[in-house]
Structure 1
Amino acid sequence: MGDELKRRVYGTDHDDPDPGPKPDHAYQELVGGPLDGLLVDVTGWSSEDLAEGAALITELGRFGPGGRAVYEPRLGDRRMWDWQGDVP
């Protein structure tokens, strides 16, 4: 089994016995920022939504609880989303 199976998916609890990716799901890898290394389940997202990226809720960012970390697709590798900054 590859390292990806050991990775944690955004939104899973730290004590979840199986926090990794699920078969038949699509994921984007988050790079940089407070959610670095997590995977986001984008199963069923439209190509337009995937092209926009996401503002993901996190307590670890600049604005604390309720703040969001903004991630956008990396040019040349759409499987990776790069951190753009935090917003309230």
Structure 2
Amino acid sequence: MPEVSHLGWGHWYTLRELEDSANGFADESVIGARVGMGIVYLGVFEDNTQVAIKNLLNNRGQAEREFKVEVEAVGCVGHKNLVRLLGYCT
């Protein structure tokens, strides 16, 4: 079971959990072209929960800071047109 994140919501996933769920980030798991600074993959956890996983192309400097802001913003917002954020991995 993933650990609860330090943000107080969601789960802290390991990179291994996300890689395993998305078939090692294989090309056939891509469900979205480059979105912002990353690629979106379809993942399926062991309990058959389907998830979208955004993998940053550059996780250093400005890109990482912007990603953290995005995670915090999306995690706190609830809207019918926005998928629920289950957790993250940094």
Query: What TM-score comes out, normalization by structure 2 length?
Result: 0.28
Query: Taking CA–CA contacts closer than 8 Å with sequence separation of 6 or more, which of the two structures ends up with the larger relative contact order?
Result: 2
- Structure with greater helix percent: 2
TM-score (ref. length: structure 1):
0.28
